[in-house]
Chain A
Amino acid sequence: MLGDATNERRNETVPALHDSRRPDSVLVNDWHVVAFSKDVEEGKLVATRLLGEELVLWRHDGRVHVWKDLCIHRGAQLSKGWVVDGTVVCPYHGWSYDRAGTLQAVPFASGYEKDKLPKGLKAVPRVSVYRGFIFASLADSGPGLEEFLGTAKASFDDFVDRAPGGELEVAGGVFKHAYNGNWKLMLENHLDGAHPAWVHASSVAVARGAPEPGKPGEEHYYDIAVRQMRQNGAPDSVWEAIGMWTTPHGHGYMGDYHDDSRLVTGLGNPVFDEYRGRLVARVGEKEADRILRVTLWNTIVYPSCSFMSQFRQLRIVHPVAVDRSVVTTYSFRMKDAPAQMFRDTVAFANVVNGTGSWVLTDDLEVYERLQRGLSSGAVDWVYIGRGHGRDVKEENGAARGATGTSEIYARAQHAAWLRYMSQ
């Protein structure tokens, strides 16, 4: 039985349930972050990927259009083309399309029977933007984006509200890491407070032996990351006390884990004071306090997005095959924040989330071990029953784990997956 305390292992290992050319219906029906609004400028074509399909985005008269990335003539990638006079031109034979995707210019037109020409492109059925994050859904119908996000909207709000200039921009390079494992394994890890002491034991140990974080003005480049690695070794009581929430769509978020005093340019640091000052200047004292009191850690927007609003990192998992996933990791710069805050974001990405980091590499090793273990066929079920039967329903539709290490997040993810698969 799925969505209860166990998860059938075949979900991760049977190719028939994961054909990359016909993605799981759970994935097709849901909303996925495909780009960031600021990156899609007028007159520019942006290539992106969704569930193994290539997409092209462009903006015209302020509105974002998302299409399958191929020309209906011979199938060449449109993203390699250009925008001219409000049309997208294919670089292969010069066919062009307007914003509705309707075919416009066709060179050598007299060579075609006009009524037999294809009419237009395949647009992605639904596109919606929330706080600058562009979402797309491959399904024609289904819940709207805000209903889909539910209470997880607050995590995006936190992400953006923290910027003194009210905006984020992707900056500092994009990590693309891969592992030989199912996409679900990553999502089942990011809210798991019971794994760091075990999986990250080696980075916790070396971080404890690292130099103490420097006083204001004497900080080390790596202080923010060393603090995080040490935090991974927090006592069990800390992990049990954090908040762990899930939503009916399988999203989850962790709270009350970090507060700003644990950030390097945090409370008591002149850089943080400057940052807070700029935030206050824009939103006022009361609102700034409210924003900074939100202490959300990892948020998962099931089934493909995971982010850390306080640390300004976002990851998207792309299923490539049943046992192969690619993850893109983005860092964000907060508009009008002191430069040092973005430098901390970059240092954090390098040491914690980067492809050659101390922390991520151990997670990837474990995902591959899971894939190999589950592929053995020795058992039909795995056990995700920590805290089962003690979940607390909240009024807003969310459910809270009885403790911070409850496996409620995994049960919520598999319940969402089962519901979509049975539709």
Chain B
Amino acid sequence: MNVEQFLYHEARLLDTGQLEAWLELFTEDATYWVPLEQNQKEPLETSSIIHDDRTLLELRVKQARHPRAHARQPLARTVHQVGNVMVEEEKKSEIKVNSTLQLIEFRNERQRVWGALVEHRLRRAGDSFRIAHKRVDLVNSEGELDGIAVLF
């Protein structure tokens, strides 16, 4: 599987509600980061919309499945449109990939549109990859946003 096909595969898992399979794409030491500020340098002394290590990401998926997860039951219907995929840096251990994301979500009679610059750091695993780091910079991260319950 090439890098581009892998990112499409990841998007497809999210769009078909296969959250547990999506979670399995992440390495045990993975981080999943949606910064609050534009060009945010670090996640420990500045807040983030989402800043999860693998444990928190797993809890996030578990919460989404809880029957009383009011903001997540039912899950939003989504389309993750991945574009502009470019390998930024290829090392033996990791491949850094930049892409863009357009996400359409529909829930509670409301459609929302998101745009983001995305960075993946991928590690080879057999003929596929695993995600060691995913950073999603929403173009409107500093804006007034309704609650966010989708996964980017």
Contacts and interface: CB of A to CB of B under 8 A. Distances in A.
Interface in B9-53: 34, 36-37, 40, 44-51, 53
A171 interface: yes
A205 B44 contact: no
Task: Please classify the interface of chain B as helix (H, G, I), strand (E, B), loop, or mixed, using the class held by over half of its residues.
Answer: loop
Contacts of A349: 47
A75 interface: no
Given A173-B36, A205-B66, A221-B53, A343 B59 contact: no
Nearest to B108: A368
A202 B56 CA distance: 14
Contacts of B70: 199, 202, 362, 365-366, 369
Interface in B57-71: 59-60, 62-63, 66-71
B144 interface: yes
Interface in A323-351: 326, 331, 339, 342-343, 346-347, 349-351
A209 B71 CA distance: 20
Contacts of B146: 177-180, 364
B50 A342 contact: no
Contact of B71 (A326, A339, A362): A362
A54 to B, nearest CB: 14
B113 interface: no
B55 A326 contact: no
Contact of A206 (B47, B59, B144): B59
A190 B62 CA distance: 25
Contacts of B125: none
A358 interface: yes
A305 to B, nearest CB: 18
Given A172-B47, A221-B53, A210 B59 contact: yes
A178 B145 contact: yes
Given A362-B70, A366-B70, A343 B45 contact: yes
B45 A171 contact: yes
Contacts of B34: 356
A207 interface: yes
B46 A346 contact: yes
Interface string B99-134: 000000000100000000000000000000000000
Contact of A202 (B36, B46, B49, B69): B69
A201 interface: yes
Interface residues on A, range: 35 or more
Interface in A193-217: 198-199, 201-203, 205-207, 209-211
A275 B67 CA distance: 41
Interface string A355-399: 110101110111011000000000000000000000000000000
A356 B63 contact: no
Nearest to B150: A356
Contact of B145 (A176, A201, A205, A222): A176
A343 B43 CA distance: 9
A220 interface: yes
B148 interface: yes
A243 interface: no
B143 A350 contact: no
A355 B145 contact: yes
13 contacts: A172-B46, A173-B36, A173-B37, A176-B145, A177-B144, A179-B146, A202-B70, A202-B72, A205-B63, A207-B59, A221-B53, A346-B44, A369-B70
Given A209-B62, A350-B51, A364-B147, 9 more contacts: A173-B47, A210-B59, A346-B46, A354-B50, A356-B49, A356-B149, A365-B70, A368-B108, A369-B70
